[in-house]
A and B are shown apart, each in its own frame.
Chain A
Amino acid sequence: MENTALAHHLLLAGLLFVLGLTGVLVRRNLLVVYMCLELMLAAATLALVAFSRFNRTMDGAVLVFFVITVAAAEVAVGLALIVALFRKRGTVQSDALTTLRD
């Protein structure tokens, strides 16, 4: 690996995070919003691994291990919630879910 500085990895992580955030704000399909949330998590783990590598410590990498574990559990519960929502309301478009507003 030649001359890939920490800043380049952080740049990639930041841009990925921004893309995920934009997706969360713009998309109306709950499943896609959820995938964008996962993208933001992945961007954060990328920054953690980069810092860990450039500081020569293992702690950031271990934290990424836990992040992946928690994200897997979170995805399972979140998807179950979305399925339960779909069963009750028949839609996963966040525009159509206005019970609390009306």
Chain B
Amino acid sequence: MPDGLFIFFAALTLGAALLLVLSRNAVTSAMGMILALVGVAADFFLLDAYFLGVLQVLVYAGAVMVLFLFIIMLLDTEDPQGAYPWKTAALGLAVFFLLAASVLWLFHWSGAVSTVKAGATPPELSTNPAEFVTAAKAFGRLLYSKYLLPLEIAGFLLLVALVGVVSLSKDNPEDQA
């Protein structure tokens, strides 16, 4: 049996994700998304990835979702359909149950991820920075040695995205059809 905190946060995450998918109101969907991301961050904490958990809350649940909420407010979109058309609902249900059943089978009953081999409990943490360590220092060390080029590319990507967003959201008059 997994530990109680994991069950609690897994249930929270899945419930919030369900709210995101099913809610007719875009703002409620966004709230469900925030809750789901916080649940994922809690699971990062349970996996001893504290730095990533904090980052997830700061970047995703903070910045990205504020952006989403702002755009929802700006666009003021209301869903015109009353209920889901039955074709869409049937397709969604079929896809969900098929995939969920295969996921359950793959990770729970097929034995492909054997608990003996992978360990019922995660291996002990080490102090060697090349292995999995909880300190943010280990991230810095790796980011500026082994992953220096990807780090630079990521920085450049952020700059490109910045310029792209500015040019996209500029109002050019000849574009108005």
> Would you give 16 A-B contacts (Cβ < 8 Å), ordered by A?
A2-B3, A8-B2, A14-B103, A16-B13, A16-B36, A18-B95, A18-B96, A19-B20, A28-B81, A53-B122, A57-B131, A61-B132, A65-B52, A71-B64, A72-B60, A91-B77
- Contact indicator A76/B161 (Cβ below 8 Å): yes
Size of chain B's interface in residues, with CB distance under 8 A? 92
Bound state CA distance, A14 and B101, in angstroms?
10
Please give the residue numbers on chain A whose beta carbons come within 8 Å of chain B beta carbons, in ascending order. Answer: 1-12, 14-23, 25-29, 31-32, 34-36, 38-39, 42-43, 45-46, 49-50, 52-59, 61-62, 64-66, 68-77, 79-84, 86-88, 91-93
Q: Which residue of B lies closest to A81 (CB)?
A: B168
Interface string of B137-174 (1 = CB under 8 A from A): 01100110011001000100110111011001101000
Could you say which residues of chain A place their CB within 8 Å of the CB of B30?
A: 35
Which of chain B's residues have a CB closer than 8 A to the CB of A25? 91-92, 95
The verdict on A49 contacting B52 (CB below 8 Å), with A3-B2, A9-B43 known, is: yes
Which among B2, B129, B161 is the interface contact of A5 at CB below 8 angstroms?
A: B2
Contact status A36-B21, CB under 8 Å: yes
Task: Contact check, A77 vs B75: say whether CB atoms are below 8 A apart.
Answer: no
Known: A42-B40, A45-B40. A73 touches B71 (CB 8 A): no
CB of A5 within 8 A of CB of B115, answer: yes
